[in-house]
Each structure stands twice: as structure tokens, then as C-alpha cells.
Amino acid sequence: MTPASTSRWHAVARAKLTAVLGAAKAEDAMRDTLAKIGRRELRSADDLYLFAEALAEASGFTGTIGGLLTVHALLHGAHADTE
């Protein structure tokens, strides 16, 4: 995936993770969490919500970022019952 093809939802998640965890740990968290939810990229508010919920299960700052991203997704139209 090239930066030009990255969706705004994917970019939001990466930016939040990178700001708190640093680039290397953010990339690990992105890769692992995307695999966990069966996505290659976040393309909608619903995708971001699923990603954030999975991320929120982690401990420490990573889980906290998941909570913040959950709110972000909901404020931008995600449906809490997304599967």
C-alpha cells in the first residue's frame, strides 16, 4: 500500500498510534490489529470502529488509543453494531 492510496480512516489510525507509540510500535500495532479484524486497510468509519474496538483490547497506551479511535469513529458515522 502506498501513501497515496491510504484512506483518511487508515491515516487517522496510523497518525494517532504513531504520535503516542512511535513509528515502529505503531506499525506493529496497525499490522497486528488489521490482521485480527481481517482487513488490509481501513476504508470507512465502520472499519475504523472495528479496528478501534480490537485495539482497545490491548493493554496500556495502545488500548487507550483504541478507546479514542472508537469515539472518533462513532462521531463520524460508524455503527456500533458493525461486524
- Domain ranges for the chain: 3-75
**φ/ψ (deg, to 5) at 69:** -70, -30
Q: Is the pLDDT of residue 1 over 50?
A: no
Q: Is the pLDDT of residue 54 over 80?
A: yes
Residue 5: predicted pLDDT:
54
Nine-digit cell at 12? 487517522
What does the pLDDT average to over 58-68? 95
What does the pLDDT average to over 60-75? 96
Task: Supply the pTM of this predicted model.
Answer: 0.88
Distance CA 10, CA 54 (A): 15
Nine-digit cell at 11? 491515516
What does the pLDDT average to over 44-67? 96
3-state secondary structure of 83: coil
